[in-house]
Amino acid sequence: MNLMEQIHAADHSMRGKNILTWLDYTQGEVSQLLAQAQYVKENPYSQSLKSKNLAMIFEKSSTRTRVSFEVGMEQMGGHALYLNSRDIQIGRGETIADTARVLSGYVDAIMFRTTSHEKLHELAVHATVPVINGLCDMYHPCQALADIFTILELKGRLGGVKVVYIGDGNNVAHSLMVLAAMMGMEMVISAPEGYQPDPAITEKAKNLAKLHGGAVIIENNPEQAVVDADVIYTDVWTSMGQEEEAEERLKDFEGYQVNALLLKGAKTDVSFLHCLPAHRGEEVTADVIDGDHSVVFQQAENRMHVQKAILQAVIGWK
């Protein structure tokens, strides 16, 4: 199947579907999205979503999610509406179900950046247009797809690539672990006790890895985890909504900082990824994130390209 055939196949198979977690998708569908993302990156301007509208509901602040979706829709001839939850009726007691039904009458898709997966699921149940997870407490699928796309660009393959995630086993870790397992990669999570990824999601990822020839490994020792790593990834130790835990987390994550010494244990051509925003001097040192191994801004740009591919696939493009 050539590139254009893959793109049209993705458009047909995913039209009208929600993007809540990659556990709902197959390796073939993800591969099609990656091919589509490559195409839109090389051909950024089109009228593929002309006259289409995306509603974006934000319960959490955002830089990359908001800007990448807005600019992406504009580049495809469509329009994105920014809806802060404090400024619409959902912030004054209107139910998620009613909001979903109302917005479905106005727009072609809804992106929801929310505090809980339960809210996201409720919106998806009652909406009659595709719902895209812009981030929730359990998953961050758009970020993970951009991560995988970036790794594919850098390494030229996904199968067999060793990715080591160091730090909090959070929503980013969950989605990355699922996608890496699905694509036949070796995924290692190194997190302190009490901060490891959700056991149920980990088990599902391990089952995917068995099916696709990959591996999911939990390794507490970061020095051991990074041996022969192709990619090292980290995220902030204290995410939005966890500010009261910041002091405790700084103590708990001592020894899990990504620094130059840790990178020396990986392959010489190791790539460093971070979903941003970054706290230099905490989870990563400045010389690493601003150094030669870092590809964090290529990774950030790729958010827009994969999200454009997602939008084309679930809305349907001209």
Residue of 32, 36, 75, 143 marked catalytic: 143
Q: Which among 167, 173, 146, 178 is positioned nearest to 24, based on CA atoms?
A: 178
User: Is 235 known as a binding-site position?
Assistant: yes
Question: Partners of 276 in the beta sheet?
Answer: none
Residue of 274, 303, 305, 312 marked catalytic: 303
Residue 174 falls in the annotated catalytic set = no
Q: What is the structure's pLDDT at 244? A: 79
Examine the domain organization and report whether 134 and 191 are in the same domain: no
Residues 6+ apart with CB under 8 A from 312: 11, 36, 40, 48, 49, 76
Examine the domain organization and report whether 292 and 307 are in the same domain: no
Q: What is the structure's pLDDT at 242? A: 76
Residue 92 falls in the annotated catalytic set = no
Q: What is the structure's pLDDT at 91? A: 75
Q: What is the structure's pLDDT at 56? A: 98
Examine the domain organization and report whether 184 and 130 are in the same domain: no
Q: What is the structure's pLDDT at 246? A: 85
Q: What is the structure's pLDDT at 276? A: 97
Residues 6+ apart with CB under 8 A from 43: none
Would you call 244 exposed, middle or buried from its count of C-beta atoms within 10 A (0-12, 13-18, 19+)?
A: exposed
Examine the domain organization and report whether 203 and 279 are in the same domain: yes
Residue 136 falls in the annotated catalytic set = no
Examine the domain organization and report whether 108 and 21 are in the same domain: yes
Residue 235 falls in the annotated catalytic set = yes
User: Is 63 known as a binding-site position?
Assistant: yes
Examine the domain organization and report whether 219 and 279 are in the same domain: yes
Q: How many domains does the chain have?
A: 2
- Domain harbouring 171, CATH code: 3.40.50.1370
Residue 143 falls in the annotated catalytic set = yes
Residue of 235, 257, 293, 312 marked catalytic: 235
Per the structure block, which two tokens stand in for 134? 């812009």
Examine the domain organization and report whether 107 and 150 are in the same domain: no
* pLDDT beneath 50: ranges in the chain: 1
Residue 280 falls in the annotated catalytic set = no
User: Is 141 known as a binding-site position?
Assistant: yes
Residue of 275, 293, 307, 312 marked catalytic: 275
Q: Residue 76: which domain range?
A: 3-140+303-315
The C-alpha angle with vertex 204 and arms to 6 and 207, in degrees rounded to 5, equals: 75
User: Is 143 known as a binding-site position?
Assistant: yes
Per the structure block, which two tokens stand in for 242? 């966890």
Separation between Cα atoms, residue 162 and residue 191, nearest integer Å: 17
Examine the domain organization and report whether 109 and 164 are in the same domain: no
Query: Model-level pTM?
Result: 0.95
